[in-house]
Amino acid sequence: MHGEYKVPGGKLVVVDLEVQDGRIAGFHLAGDFFLEPDDALGDIDAAVEGLPVEADVTTIAAAVRSALPDGAQLLGFTPEAVGTAVRRALVTAPGWRDFSWEIVHDGPVSPRMNLALDEVLTTRVGDGRRNPTLRLWEWDESAVVIGSFQSYRNEIDPDGAAKHGFDVVRRISGGGAMLMGANSIVTYSLYVPASLVAGLTFADSYAFLDDWVLQALRSLGIEAVYQPLNDIASPQGKIGGAAQKRLANGGVLHHATLSYDMDGQVMTEVLRIGREKLSDKGTVSAAKRVDPLRSQTGLPREAIIERFIETFANLYGAVPGHITEEEYAEAEALVASKFATESWLHRVP
């Protein structure tokens, strides 16, 4: 059995193993990481050898850590990364390049249509009716997108939203509110089969699915890192955050929003807890603009999106794609029956 795990912001961890009588046998660790001393590699192999196939990531990592000699240095990987690679080998999880990927960057639609498309395309990937897809959002009006479990009245100031022209909509994934001003953020969605994240903990899947965007940001000169559970950040503060929704049919929605240029004062007037939200973005003053992508790259939003597309295509062999008329029609029906209804918007009062 063979398993691979690319550590977000780190190196590739590769394991090969067999299973004999319910235990791991013939285990070998490899990868492009750095390890000192050299013979610690044998210590890691010996630590995993003989573990039961039911061993989880924590158990495997503990065995590796206890076997390391004093002063051992693991650079670009961790004992937990070894455990993750082992679990992925045991469940025969496919890699990114085992799928045929599409990249969609179509024209603007309403925020409600964007949310409906997320549900429609995730369902279709889960059903096998669409290839795994990266979609870059465009929208034709400003909106606040609140998480599936957020309280409308606790989160939104209706007067502030109306004053600044922000509609309020609710998405199917959890997490916090996104202030989606025109041309002020970059939002993307990944629609993937559950098999891609097999063997990963729920928390690890976030960083795994966003590793490509860290590489894209670094190519633009941003020292991007992932901060658990779901934040993308740089030394200057938070850049954005991600959310997920997993459907019963095996489709996984992973989407993220990154700040390009946002008015912090507007945020505090539209969101009731805007000041607390700004505090973890490295913004001292509510009036300060939250603009990590613009200020740290000096590039227009369109150029950043183009680099995202180029990076994803180069990494995973993705090709350009489009949303079909049938998918648009299905999404429009879902807007009418769900995303535009008061019952959905106020499902948590």
Q: Class of 2-90 per CATH?
A: alpha beta
Span 107-151, pLDDT tens digits:
999 999 999 999 999 999 999 999 999 999 999 899 999 999 999
Q: Which of 57, 83, 187, 129 is nearest to 323 (CA)?
A: 129
Residue 282, pLDDT score: 47
Kindly state the percentage of the chain with pLDDT values over 70. Answer: 95
pLDDT band at 285 (very low <50, low <70, confident <90, very high): very low
Token readout for 133 is 């897809």
What's the fold here for domain 96-345? BirA Bifunctional Protein; domain 2 (3.30.930)
| Distance between CA atoms of residues 178 and 195, nearest Å | 28
Phi and psi angles of residue 263, each rounded to the nearest 5 degrees, phi first: -85, 110
Q: Check whether 193 has a pLDDT greater than 80.
A: yes
Token readout for 47 is 């630590």
Amino acid of residue 107 = G
Rounded mean pLDDT of 97-106? 97
Domain edges within the chain:
2-90, 96-345
C-alpha angle with apex 71: 69 to 75, nearest 5 degrees? 100
The reply to whether 96-345 shares the fold of 2-90 is no
C-alpha angle with apex 266: 187 to 348, nearest 5 degrees? 70
Q: What is the reported pTM?
A: 0.89
Q: Is there a contact between 253 and 172 (Cβ–Cβ < 8 Å)?
A: yes
Residue 237, pLDDT score: 87
Rounded mean pLDDT of 308-324? 98
Rounded mean pLDDT of 275-284? 50
| Distance between CA atoms of residues 211 and 226, nearest Å | 8
What does the DSSP 8-state code read for residue 241?
E
| Distance between CA atoms of residues 288 and 262, nearest Å | 9
Token readout for 299 is 């590039």
Residue 284, pLDDT score: 43
- Other C-beta atoms within 10 Å of 126: how many? 21
